[in-house]
Structure 1
Amino acid sequence: MTAFDESERRAWAGQAEAYAGGFAKLCAYPVPRLLDAAGVREGGRVLDVGTGTGTVAVAACQRGAKVTAVDAEPGMVALAAQTAPAADVRLAGLPGLPFADDEFDAVVGNFVLNHVGRPRAALTELRRVTRPGGWTAVTIWAAPAAAGQALLGRAVQAAGATRPARLPALAPEDDFPRTEKGFAALLGDAGLADVCCETVLWEHRTTPGEWWSGPAAGVATIGQIVTSQSPGVVEEIKGHFDLLCAEFTGSDGALVLPHAALLAYGRAS
């Protein structure tokens, strides 16, 4: 496990409920297209890696699939087990999954690759547990970030806050371009065939209070950056956030935040 992996495990510990109240709603949008890309259908054996609150597992169960879901955070596992009672939800995570080779007809991971220290090794593991001819489908956030996704980071930057040293970035040798071409190449490197990658665009509707609640609770990297600051700096970040929200506030008072993700999928051989 890399320093990045260890940092991610610490950052997400105990954050299931806070994540469910905000960012989980954002991450739900690509799920139908993710399941379509993996060919998830009735009776198929499906593995959902990094299930979080269980959103993907629920959707796969609704299609009649036989779903196994895993997450590395015990709180997420407990919440997902409640959310997706028809799924077999277990505590496990990348880079080592407790499953046999070729065990699943389809393997999916919704944004999980954003949280692993060795994305190539993680994808190789996803391919390993996918049966020959089955599909592996994954999403990540695109870079540069879409305007709505960049809102919180802009507030942090405007306040002059910096990323603490205890939050290491992904090692350069493990990183890759967060573009359609770069992400597709990553799947090809993992041994997947017939790789496709597309950009998924949507506008996430939320409220300023809900959007601020995640970072204020320390959810995700942006939340870890916010909560590592002094109270005065946190207040300054919040002030910039409030001002920047005006750019995205609709006539009904809701925030309308443009987001972009990459969806890539390939066939195991």
Structure 2
Amino acid sequence: MATFDDSERQIWAGRACAYADTFARLCAHAVPDLLDAGQVGPGVRVLDVGTGPGTVAAAAYARGTKVTAVDAEPTMVELARAAAPAADCRVAVLPDLPFGDGEFDAVVGNFVLNHVGQPRLALSELRRVVGRDGWVALTIWAAPPAPGQTLIGRAIQAAGAHRPPHLPPLPPEEDFARTGQGLTALLDSAGLREASCETLAWNHRVTAEEWWNGPAAGVAFTGHLIQSQPPEVRAEIKRFYDEFSAEFADADGLLTLPHTALLARARR
């Protein structure tokens, strides 16, 4: 049976360009706050974990930092190298990072904790590679989710789609509450200190076509779930999506999708 980490590798394999063209713009909203939380500024040695197409790495470099960026998916690393050519971009998979103890002044991860099968062990590894008094700053999607986050999931549920066995959930013993209290408790359990958390809320403006193109291309868990369904179920998901997305459309035809995320930081 596939593990959660095996499933994540399968979900994201070869999906870098599809992600960059769709959901990456949504995730970019949190980047300035994330870098501020990590006190990422001139001269700081920063590690960007789960860099994806390099959005965080490029923004960190623009602040005058020395950037190292890693991602588990090779096609993501290719995009990151193009977006942040001055950064040291490598393939690496949590919780085993190829760096020495205390090698960085700050570690940041934009929504990466949603994609690891052992969150506590991953955080312990981030604690290991950051120097004493250095900050670890992370974002995750909040629960309960904002209405814009549930749009595609509502369509999947309404169509009667079933979760296939090759997409297992996070094991219960590894899971944690996606709340401010749950996330700070997780940081505490990894040996980090002075943990705090805030909620980020914003409206993502996007066309209905762009918002559908991500999952239709198999991006993220929802996309892989959709692609795993029989053709008639996929058609029903799209029909319900078209119906539900009208709730968020304005006179210009753009969707206004409310989203919320948690931004946490803690010090070694």
Identical columns (%)? 64
Q: In structure 1, how many angstroms separate the alpha carbons of the residues matched to 2:186 and 2:156?
A: 31
User: TM-score when scaled to structure 2?
Assistant: 0.99
| Larger CA deviation: 249-258 vs 98-107 | 249-258
Q: In structure 1, how many angstroms separate the alpha carbons of the residues matched to 2:208 and 2:53?
A: 22
Query: Paired residue for 1:13?
Result: 13
Q: In structure 2, how many angstroms separate the alpha carbons of the residues matched to 1:93 and 1:229?
A: 29
Q: Does 2:194 correspond to 1:209?
A: no
After TM superposition, the structure 1 = structure 2 runs for residues 72-83 of structure 1, keeping only pairs within 5 Å, are: 72-83=72-83
User: TM-score when scaled to structure 1?
Assistant: 0.98
Query: Paired residue for 2:31?
Result: 31
Deviations 1:22-42 (A, max 9, x none): 011110001000000000000
Q: In structure 2, how many angstroms separate the alpha carbons of the residues matched to 1:142 and 1:261?
A: 5
Q: In structure 2, how many angstroms separate the alpha carbons of the residues matched to 1:181 and 1:229?
A: 36
SS where residue 48 of structure 2 aligns? strand
Amino acid at match of 2:116: V
Q: CA deviation at 1:165?
A: 1.1
SS where residue 264 of structure 2 aligns? strand
Amino acid at match of 1:254: L
Query: Paired residue for 2:179?
Result: 179
Query: Paired residue for 1:198?
Result: 198
SS where residue 178 of structure 1 aligns? coil
Query: Paired residue for 2:157?
Result: 157
SS where residue 80 of structure 2 aligns? helix
Q: CA deviation at 1:86?
A: 1.4
Amino acid at match of 2:56: V
Deviations 1:99-150 (A, max 9, x none): 0000000000000000000000001101110000110000100111110000
Total equivalences in the alignment: 267
After TM superposition, the structure 1 = structure 2 runs for residues 243-258 of structure 1, keeping only pairs within 5 Å, are: 243-258=243-258
Amino acid at match of 1:189: S
Query: Paired residue for 1:122?
Result: 122
Q: CA deviation at 1:58?
A: 0.5
Query: Paired residue for 2:146?
Result: 146
Amino acid at match of 1:216: A
Q: In structure 2, how many angstroms separate the alpha carbons of the residues matched to 1:92 and 1:177?
A: 26
Q: CA deviation at 1:93?
A: 1.6
Query: Paired residue for 1:68?
Result: 68
SS where residue 43 of structure 2 aligns? coil
Q: CA RMSD in A?
A: 0.7
Structure 1 gaps of 5+ residues are none
Query: Paired residue for 1:99?
Result: 99
Q: In structure 2, how many angstroms separate the alpha carbons of the residues matched to 1:130 and 1:237?
A: 44
Query: Paired residue for 2:221?
Result: 221
